Amino acid sequence: MKNNRLRTALTGFAVSWGIFLLICLLGAGNGLMNALTGNMEDYLANAMTVYGRNTSISYGGYQKGRRIRLNSDDIAVTRSPLFSANVDDVTAQVYYSGLIVSLGDKYINGDITGAGSAYKDINNIKIAHGRFINQYDERDKRKVVVLSTGQAKELLGGRKDLAPSLVGKYVNVGNLAFRVVGLYQSDESGMDSDFYAPFETVRSLYGFGDMVHNLSFTFHGLETLEANEAFEDKYVRSLNAVHSAAPEDKETFWINNRFTQNIQMNKAKGIVNTALWILGILTLISGIVGVSNIMLISVKERTHEFGIRKALGAKPRQVLSLIISESIAITAAFGYFGMFLGMVACQIMDKTIGQNTVSIGFEEIHMLKDPTVGLNVAIEATLLLVIAGTIAGLIPAYKASRVRPIEALRAD
């Protein structure tokens, strides 16, 4: 290696480049999947949200295409003993848009969401100051409201530091006074125009009657896709009975099941990671082939040396170790150097591309989120490279160990 520095460096470069590309590909793939699924992971995985749709089958004297609207009966069915083995917390929501919230001469436009106490945990709403709606607010139909920290800042004349002081004060929501009981953390998109009040309060104040826009609930005991599908089928049939829809009509309700979405997303992650590993390993193979070729050249150049060593009593395994050690030295030294550069490149991606955002509808997301590779994965990939490099040097090493001294000394 010392006498053939250029050749060793070029061979090592191929090895370093292969592991470098593998680490970068895995990091970028992780960053992309984290960016796409990051917001989903902020929500509880064991939660379903139910929305009414249109019937697709004529039934009970009704034509197909009839609009199904959720109501209090659907809440009762969800909480009934029929589903108590799986359903935990249930909360319903109603929405009213275009309201003005004011404090003195400051005001903001927003949409009010009537929700229950479980809504916070289901949707991972982070409370910055105060609290969220509780069961007593719901029971007594209190006029209380939870604003965002961004809304509080606007109502306080841009003074973010004064936001905590808003908790406990009264603000005007339209023509009604509501007491602020908490502030939730604004999200990165800045689209935090929603504020929250007790479900029954909003439903009665804004004339929704018995209507429910959607309902959510957490569940347990449904660990497979099959179990979730069976539950959803049974649940939709029960709701269909409430609304006089055909039992077999599966278009009447849309269920946003986060558990099954996570399963599908994990499958997608697995496919992407497998594809990236395949591309990276193919790149590594090119470096490994280079190591094997260089070892063949090294054996040819050192044939005289091996003949002299064997003539002086060197055993085949000693000659074998000469070639194997050179192969290991190249792959290990340059492999770990490439791994280090790959980890550095992932950090650079995080600080550059990872800070850029793109707009998806009403939401801003990062192009890459945490585009890194775990140290254990990087080390395992490099060890795989070293093992492969060792195997690549076995054939040339075996050839060298089998050479006869007289033939070696006569070789050109």
State the helix-helix crossing angle for 303-311 and 258-301, rounded to 10 degrees: 70
Residue ranges in 302-360 assigned as alpha helix (H): 303-311, 316-351
Q: Are residues 289 and 251 in the same domain?
A: no
Q: Which helix (H) or strand (E) holds 366?
A: strand 363-366
Residue 204 shares a structural domain with residue 311: no
Q: What is the pLDDT of residue 319?
A: 75
74 in the same domain as 26: no
Residue 191 belongs to domain spanning: 49-258
Residues 238 and 321 in one domain: no
SS3 171: strand
Which residue stretches of the chain have pLDDT < 70?
Answer: 36-44, 187-192, 357-366, 399-401, 403, 405-412
Q: Per-residue pLDDT tens for 227-285?
A: 999 999 999 999 999 999 999 999 999 999 988 888 887 787 788 888 878 887 787 77
Quote the tokens at residue 151. 């809304």
Residues 276 and 367 in one domain: yes
Which of 242, 258, 274 is the last residue in one of the domains? 258
Domain end: 208, 231, 258, which one?
Answer: 258
Do 236 and 267 lie in one domain? The reply is no
Of 258, 285, 304, which residue sits at a domain end? 258
Residues 178, 274: one domain?
A: no
pLDDT of residue 324: 78
Angle, helix 5-41 to helix 375-392, in steps of 10 degrees? 150
Residues 86 and 222 in one domain: yes
* Pair (279, 241) in one structural domain: no
- 90 and 208 in one domain? yes
Residue-wise pLDDT for 200-216, tens only, equals 999 999 999 999 999 99
Tokens 């979730």 correspond to 228
pLDDT at 137: 94
Number of C-beta neighbours around residue 217 at 10 A: 23
The answer to whether residues 97 and 219 belong to one domain is yes
Q: Is 280 found in the same domain as 222?
A: no
- Domain count of the chain? 2
